[in-house]
Every structure is written in C-alpha cells, then in structure tokens.
Amino acid sequence: MDAHEIQEPNNAPQPTQSHPLILKLKPLHLLSILIVFLAVSFSFTKTNYYKIQHLRSTLSPHPNLFHKFLMFLHPTLTPKQNPTPEPSSVPPYCVLWMAPFLSGGGYSSEAWAYILALNENKEIHRSRLSIEQHGDQESLEFWEGLPQEMKSLAFELYQTECKFKETIVVCHSEPGAWYPPLFQTLPCPPTGYGNFKFVIGRTMFETDRVNPEHVRRCNQMDFVWVPTEFHASTFIRSGVDPSKVVKIVQPIDVKFFDPLKYKPLDLPSIGTLVLGSTSTNLNLKREFVFLSVFKWEYRKGWDVLLKSYLKAFSRVDGVALYLLTNPYHSDRDFGNKIVEFVEDSDIEKPVEGWAPIYVIDTHIAQIDLPRLYKSANAFVLPSRGEGWGRPLVEAMAMSLPVIATNWSGPTEYLTEDNSYPLPVDRMSEVMEGPFIGHLWAEPSVDKLRSLMRHVMSNPEEAKVKGRQARGDMISRFSPEIVAGILTHHLQQILNTMI
C-alpha cells in the first residue's frame, strides 16, 4: 500500500497483545515467567526483543503482566488508563485514533499522516487527540527511524485520556482487526460498539470488490472512510450501506517531502547489483535512475517492471533501476529471484549486456526517505492494484516524474499533466490469497516499456510533470487541506447529536 509497508523488522518472534480480562495465571506459572523476565531484563537489555517490549509497555493501553513487570523495572513509565465515563471537559469531544502507529506499513504511514495533519491544524478541529497501537505488531526499526518530533508527539497523544461518551473512535486497519478481531490484536473499538459517541472504520482494498465478511463489519460502523472515488464505488457495489461511505483522501506531508531540503543518498553504496553491469560510457555524467519502492508480492507488478525495463534498455543506455523492497511471506533472496525470473522468461539478452538492476533490501529510516527519492530521476510502479500508493504521492511531492498503473487508488491523483498514467491491458483474476476470485489490473508491459524510454529521452518534459505533481500534492493533499476535510466531516457527525 505504501513505502512503509515494506519495512519489516528482523526481530525475534513477538507475543501478541492480551486483554487484561483474558490474562489469568497460576502462582507457579507466574513465578516461572518472572524468572524468565529477569533473565531477559538483566542479560539482554540491549536486544531488539527487549526494546520492543519496552516500547510496548510505554505505548500500550492495556498492560499485561509483562508490561507491568517492565514498569516495575522502569518506574517512570505510566500506562494510560482505559476510557472511563467521567464528566466532559473542554474541548467537548475526543478523537481516539487506533492504528498500527508503531508498525510501519501502509496503514501506519497513512494514520501518521492524518495525526500530523490534525495536530498541525489544532485551531481547525478543536478536539483532543489520543492514539492507540492497534492492528499489527510493533517494528523497532520503524520506531527508531521516526523523527524525534514524531516520537515526542506519540508519547504526548498516548497520554491523552478520553471519556466514553465524548469519544469518536477511528478504527484504522483492515476490517478483520475490528471488534471482535479475527486475529490477536487490541480490539477496535476497545469495548464494543455501544460505549462511544461514534465509531468510524478507515480502510481500503486493492481489488474490484469487498469480501462479504468485511462488508458486514463495515456495516457495523457508523461511518466507513475510504480514500478514493474508486473505493467508494467498489464498497457500495459490494453491499456497504451507501449512507455510511465517505471519501476522505490521504494527506501527504509536503513540508517533509520537499526536494529543496535534501541532498540525495549515495545509491550505489546502499544498493546491491543483482543483474547486468554499469555503463562504461565515460561521457555520461551519471546514470538515469529509475526507482521503485514496494514489498515483494505479485500484486506490486515487479514482473511487469522487470520485463519492461530489460526490454527497453541495455547496458550502454546509461540507465539503472533501483528496487527498494522487503519480503512479503517470502525470503530475502531477491537477487536470485530476479535472475531466475529473467532466465525463465522470454526476454532476450541484449548484445551489449543487461541494463543494471540494483536491490536495496536494508531498512531506510523514515527520516531518510526524502533523500532516497531525491536520488532518482523517475519513479515507476506498475502494480496490479493499490489502496492509495504512498510511495507514489511521496515521489510526486518530491517533484519526481511518476509512471504508475492507471487503476484503483492512484486514479484519485494521477493525471496526464502531473504524471505518466500507465494503461491497463485487461483485468485478471486473483489466483491466491484472501482475495482469490477478485479482479485486478494487468498493466501493459509494452506501454510501460515505451513510457520508460520516453521519460529517459525527454528529461525536461519529465521535470515539468514532476513540478506539476508537487503543485497538485500541495493544493489537493497537503495537511491543512485534508485536516479541513476531516474536521468538516467530524463536525457534521457531532451536529447530528445537537
């Protein structure tokens, strides 16, 4: 869904969060666990595993036994109390935003974008904000890579207490995590649907429809926020009550993603050459760099990208393709995966040799993402379906020319003036996974091949589109714009109670 959904940690297995009513232990079990905790605490306090638990204990709404034990070791930690029905205070309502804030991934980055937008425009919404970790496991790498101001804001908003009847709960995750969750996670809303002022679901999908179970869960919500007209249409066609569906676009932090603020990363120092070799043409000042950011799954169209790139260019063209990727239910051996794919394909090796392909499979911290985009000349993502496409809007905010599939989420912001929309050859059936039988797009290999050559051969035109892209991000999706849209809808909700 976005650049950050690929940032998967390499930590030890982590226990899932437990509701306090579920946690019941016998004294002997308790003693054994305390001994293990002591061993972990005093022998491995510097490990990622321990840090994750420390982080959980600090930003967890329902501390389990492990969290309480960590607070004994770290008495400065103060867990937030559950919402309680106490008298209202000013401002008159509270927004409790539950999302995978500590996890990385598409929902995480989107939730952060909303919270930052609302926090920066407090005078607009005039409400208290509170956050809870929900929907996914914590990623230490993601947390440590956040700017310090975001970490400080997380602690501040985590400490905000909300009262039951003055709280609007936002469940920002896929519907399987909503109350009652289909897997182990903190339920959202925390105590069911009857105790809060309103409960809103924020979600999206990358195919042409919504599963019946997800439709049922959406219809339990007071409202369902979706990011695009594409989603509004597919949700309603699938059976979600039209009166509940509201389009709320995603914000993009155009101040953070500002090309004038950054110097580029040294890509060769972080990328591994997995196919081809660099050009020996000494007249070239630098290679024309295509960048793509995705997790390694079929939906992202990496096969389409490799076919188009290798058919379009050879070693002497002075281009390079950099792939920032991470596993998705697979191992990390991307180099061999690419080589095997090429060897099994019908792509003919150019006489001059393959154009180079580099893989970046190390974690890129949030604070370094703008520098990554700054290092490229163009961004390309021929995915079969996107909920929104955060790498695309981040690249556009950085004034990069973008080539992306003209279907699903990106149709909300791709235009002929600000990008290179990639045509779709046909629709195809999803063959595996939870959305088997759904349809998604098959982007055109030949059109992508032509567009990549066109962008490389017409750099000035591409730069004009990139500048227009940043202008559109500022005028349509900047934090203050989206905060206004969000606040308007929240106020409409509150007006129904007057």
Average pLDDT over residues 144-152: 90
Structure tokens at 252: 């993009």
* Residues 429, 434, 438: CA angle, nearest 5 degrees: 25
pLDDT at residue 71, as a whole number = 42
Q: Which of 85-94, 97-106, 486-495 has the lowest average pLDDT?
A: 85-94
pLDDT at residue 282, as a whole number = 43
Q: Same domain, yes or no, for 239 and 345?
A: no
Q: Same domain, yes or no, for 384 and 367?
A: yes
Q: Same domain, yes or no, for 66 and 102?
A: no
Q: Same domain, yes or no, for 98 and 242?
A: yes
The pLDDT tens digits of the residues spanning 282-325 come to 454 679 999 999 999 999 999 999 999 999 999 999 999 999 99
pLDDT higher than threshold 90 for residue 451: yes
pLDDT higher than threshold 90 for residue 265: yes
> First and final CA of the chain: distance in angstroms?
38
Average pLDDT over residues 176-203: 93
Average pLDDT across the chain, whole number: 84
Range of the domain at 32: 26-71
- Judge whether 177 and 135 are in contact, CB under 8 Å: yes
Q: Same domain, yes or no, for 233 and 263?
A: no
- Judge whether 263 and 295 are in contact, CB under 8 Å: no
Position with higher pLDDT, 136 vs 27: 136
Which pLDDT band holds residue 204 (cuts at 50, 70, 90)?
Answer: very high
pLDDT higher than threshold 70 for residue 231: yes
The answer to the question of residue 135 being in a domain is yes
The number of angstroms, rounded, from the C-alpha of 244 to the middle of its chain's C-alpha atoms is: 24
Indicate the residue type of 464.
V
Which pLDDT band holds residue 40 (cuts at 50, 70, 90)?
Answer: very low
Q: Same domain, yes or no, for 111 and 59?
A: no
The answer to the question of residue 79 being in a domain is no
Q: Same domain, yes or no, for 296 and 210?
A: no
Structure tokens at 297: 């799954």
Which pLDDT band holds residue 120 (cuts at 50, 70, 90)?
Answer: confident
Q: CA torsion 155→157→158→163, rounded to 10°?
A: 160
Highest-confidence range of 144-158, 325-339, 437-451, by mean pLDDT? 437-451
pLDDT at residue 394, as a whole number = 97
The answer to the question of residue 83 being in a domain is no
Q: Which of 25-39, 145-159, 175-189, 335-349 has the lowest average pLDDT?
A: 25-39
Q: Same domain, yes or no, for 487 and 473?
A: no
Q: Same domain, yes or no, for 142 and 265?
A: no
Which pLDDT band holds residue 411 (cuts at 50, 70, 90)?
Answer: very high
Position with higher pLDDT, 272 vs 284: 272
For the chain, percent of residues with pLDDT exceeding 90? 64
Structure tokens at 279: 């050009």
Q: Which of 25-34, 230-239, 407-416 has the lowest average pLDDT?
A: 25-34
pLDDT at residue 322, as a whole number = 98
The answer to the question of residue 13 being in a domain is no
pLDDT at residue 244, as a whole number = 97
pLDDT higher than threshold 70 for residue 34: no
For the chain, percent of residues with pLDDT exceeding 70? 79
pLDDT higher than threshold 90 for residue 92: no
- pTM (2 d.p.): 0.83
Position with higher pLDDT, 92 vs 478: 478
Domain count, the chain: 3
User: What backbone torsions phi and psi does residue 447 show, to the nearest 5 degrees?
Assistant: -70, -35
CATH number of the domain at 409, please. Answer: 3.40.50.2000
pLDDT at residue 166, as a whole number = 87
The answer to the question of residue 285 being in a domain is yes
pLDDT at residue 370, as a whole number = 98
The pLDDT tens digits of the residues spanning 47-90 come to 555 555 555 555 554 444 334 433 443 444 454 555 544 444 45
Q: Which of 426, 421, 431 is nearest to 469 (CA)?
A: 421
pLDDT at residue 194, as a whole number = 87
Q: Same domain, yes or no, for 114 and 213?
A: yes
How would you class 383 by CB atoms within 10 Å of its CB: exposed for 0-12, middle for 13-18, buried for 19 or more?
Answer: buried
Q: Same domain, yes or no, for 63 and 119?
A: no
Which pLDDT band holds residue 247 (cuts at 50, 70, 90)?
Answer: very high
pLDDT at residue 317, as a whole number = 96
pLDDT at residue 74, as a whole number = 40
The answer to the question of residue 433 being in a domain is yes
The pLDDT tens digits of the residues spanning 397-407 come to 999 999 999 99
Which pLDDT band holds residue 331 (cuts at 50, 70, 90)?
Answer: confident
Q: Same domain, yes or no, for 245 and 155?
A: yes
The answer to the question of residue 8 being in a domain is no
User: What backbone torsions phi and psi does residue 38 show, to the nearest 5 degrees?
Assistant: -60, -40
- Judge whether 65 and 19 are in contact, CB under 8 Å: no
Which pLDDT band holds residue 115 (cuts at 50, 70, 90)?
Answer: very high
The pLDDT tens digits of the residues spanning 4-25 come to 444 433 333 333 333 332 222 3
The answer to the question of residue 244 being in a domain is yes
Average pLDDT over residues 360-379: 95
